Structure 1
Amino acid sequence: MMYEQQQQQVRMELSKRGDGWRRWMEEDKVEIVDLSGMSLDSLPIPSINLATICKLDLSNNNLQSMPESLTARLLNVVALDVHSNQLKSLPNSICCLSKLKTLNVSGNLLQTLPKTIENCRSLEELNANFNELTMLPNTIGFELINLKKLSVNSNKLIFLPQSITHLTSLRVLDARLNCLRSLPQELENLIKLEVLNVSQNFQYLENLPYSIGLLVSLVELDVSYNKITSLPDSIGCMKKLQKLCVEGNPLVSPPMEVFEQSLHAVKEYLSAKMNAGHKSPQKKKSWVVKLVKYGTFNGGHMMRGGGRGEREGFIMSEYRSIDGLASPRYMRMFSTRRLFSPRTYFTR
């Protein structure tokens, strides 16, 4: 009886929406189906051929699960949006979505993602923000060769799997507001990464890997509100870096007076340390060799110029420790408006 009532509710709502809920794409014979914001707690899908759907919007409902059989029949879906539901898991049959390019599962109760998601090899954007993820599938980076944007902010991630470094098409990685203890050591494969945000991991993230200097395409780096005391010298070799956010860290290297000047000054300082590193232990020498190989370091002085432009791109409003920031007294600092302001989050 309840199922029939929901079917009737769907029909009535869709009749109000008119043609906006379902659009037939003549050239491809596929459909766009919008069932968002209908307070659904199950999926009484109207009598349509699921294989003809190219875009399916189920966001802002009360769904606690997605039937395996339903997902397996979405053979031509390109965009699937289930954000703001009550989903505790995703069906393993998501592996059948070979054409899926955009997946939005943000604002749910997910603790893990199915390992089968790696079979969605066409996936270009994965948004899993605001869930309860404690880990990502260990092999997630091996098969998602087309992934360009990975957003996993506001979860409970302790680490990012090493396979992340195989995402050679990745341009944006947003892992802020987690519990990250460290980042993968081998970042040099992320040759197209332009934006890296690992801010607000509070008391957990204390160091950045030296390989961060091999991110040859990186434009924006946000490591604010962590517990980092020293930036790797290799950051001085990041030629394309335009924005660096480091506020809220107990940094001692580079010293505060360098940060007060400009991003260019920070690069110069770190580059000078790199030059001095030629006389350091063998481990550091090996990194110098790598940086030269990748064309980010020439063993001499950093390039001149930048000046005003780089100064404007540098963000360091407050140079202080973040001890106690997680207390209720400071929770307003991390309101939705603040977290998504241009000052703390970059979009392209």
Structure 2
Amino acid sequence: MALSHYMYTPRSTSDIKTFRLRIDTDDPLFRGKKKLKMTGRELSDIPKVIFQIHELEILDLSPERESCLNYKLLAVPRGICKLTNLNVLILDTNELRELPEEICQLVNLESMALSNNSLDHLPKGFDNLQKLRSLHLANNEFEDFPPYICLLENLEFLDMSDNELTTLPGSISNLKNLHTLLLFLNKLPALPDSICDMEELHCLWIGSNNINRLPQNFGKLRNLDWNETYTSSVMDGNPLTYPPIEICRQGIPAIDRFLTSSTLNGPKLVNNNTWAKT
């Protein structure tokens, strides 16, 4: 679906003042930041004057309550590129099928929330957002992992759970600062060997995929904390046989022992496509 072209209608100075009076600096999540939230009918017809409030640092265009879900954003206005001081952009739970390339001009963005939409790709130039540390893309329609993401070297948090991903690129290891990677509820048959080089990972959720075998060097991910914070989202729901799910549930040290031992002794395939040490 093509992006809508928004017509800019003149608004009075008093309209701008009204929106400036709505700026919140007391949100406990963004203490001291200048935040503006659009609600209800405003989401179906974004007032264009807000793109003249250049001091905005947080813009929330996500419906909150069930009563507001009749009003959603169908397209992101191209004029959003004028808000060059934005640090946080929240676009969750709308009906977005694509993003305008103008969004890639928001080079001061540190966090972007795009979950619960209908996105299947990111716009060309998305890798311009080099200050991004947090990116939420859960519950969309991605079949291919967006290559631009692998160029966001400062990214620390990435949520691509509940999509249709069938593969991860080896270049995901470029994300050297990533500490949280959420990939549960996808269609991944395997993980690339390069994921074992992402030694800053503390949280990796890959449950409910089609993974039956972990990379041989998976034990290198020693910062993964599964012993005390293990949940079903980590590994369960995969047809894992190497190592068996019972080993995986014991955490990285047990996985490392199994894989190391299998390397030394040589694994062999036994009944039901399961692996055993010789």
TM-score with structure 1 setting the length: 0.60
5+ residue gaps, structure 1, are 233-245, 282-320, 322-348
CA distance in 1, matches of 2:162, 2:112: 17
Q: Choose which of 224, 242, 263 in structure 2 pairs with 1:277.
A: 263
CA contact (8 A) 1:80 1:102 kept: yes
Question: Percent identical across equivalent pairs?
Answer: 26
Change (3 A) 1:263 1:4: closer
Aligned length: 240
Change (3 A) 1:48 1:30: farther
3-state DSSP of counterpart to 1:187: helix
The amino acid that maps onto 1:130 is: N
Partner of 2:220: 214
Q: Note if 1:85 corresponds to 2:97.
A: no
Equivalent runs, 1:280-291 vs 2, <5 Å: 280=266
Deviations 1:251-301 (A, max 9, x none): 7xx5xxxx8xx838x9468626624633549xxxxxxxxxxxxxxxxxxxx
Partner of 1:22: 23
Dislocated runs of 4+, deviation >6 Å: none
Partner of 2:114: 105
The amino acid that maps onto 2:47 is: P
The alpha carbon displacement at 1:184 in A equals 1.7
CA contact (8 A) 2:62 2:92 kept: yes
Partner of 1:137: 146
3-state DSSP of counterpart to 1:52: coil
Q: Choose which of 252, 263, 270 in structure 1 pairs with 2:250.
A: 263
Change (3 A) 1:269 1:198: closer
Equivalent runs, 1:118-137 vs 2, <5 Å: 118-137=127-146
Deviations 1:4-41 (A, max 9, x none): 99x8xxx7xx97x995x31479xxx9732111344622
Deviations 1:301-321 (A, max 9, x none): xxxxxxxxxxxxxxxxxxxx9
CA distance in 2, matches of 1:269, 1:205: 15
C-alpha RMSD of matched pairs (Å): 3.5
3-state DSSP of counterpart to 1:147: coil
Q: Note if 1:42 corresponds to 2:54.
A: no
TM-score with structure 2 setting the length: 0.74
Rg comparison, structure with higher value:
1
Change (3 A) 1:48 1:177: closer
CA contact (8 A) 1:115 1:140 kept: no
5+ residue gaps, structure 2, are 1-6, 27-31, 64-70, 273-278
CA distance in 2, matches of 1:79, 1:269: 38
Change (3 A) 1:117 1:270: closer
The alpha carbon displacement at 1:161 in A equals 2.2
Partner of 1:65: 75
CA distance in 1, matches of 2:101, 2:225: 36
Q: Choose which of 231, 235, 256 in structure 2 pairs with 1:223.
A: 235
Change (3 A) 1:275 1:231: closer
Change (3 A) 1:40 1:278: closer
CA distance in 1, matches of 2:258, 2:214: 19
Partner of 1:313: none
Change (3 A) 1:47 1:206: closer
Deviations 1:26-83 (A, max 9, x none): xxx9732111344622322335624321110000141111122x12212110000011
The amino acid that maps onto 1:161 is: P
CA contact (8 A) 2:196 2:215 kept: no
Partner of 1:289: none
Partner of 1:243: none
Change (3 A) 1:47 1:279: closer
Q: Note if 1:174 corresponds to 2:177.
A: no
Query: Which range is displaced more, 40-49 or 101-110?
Result: 40-49
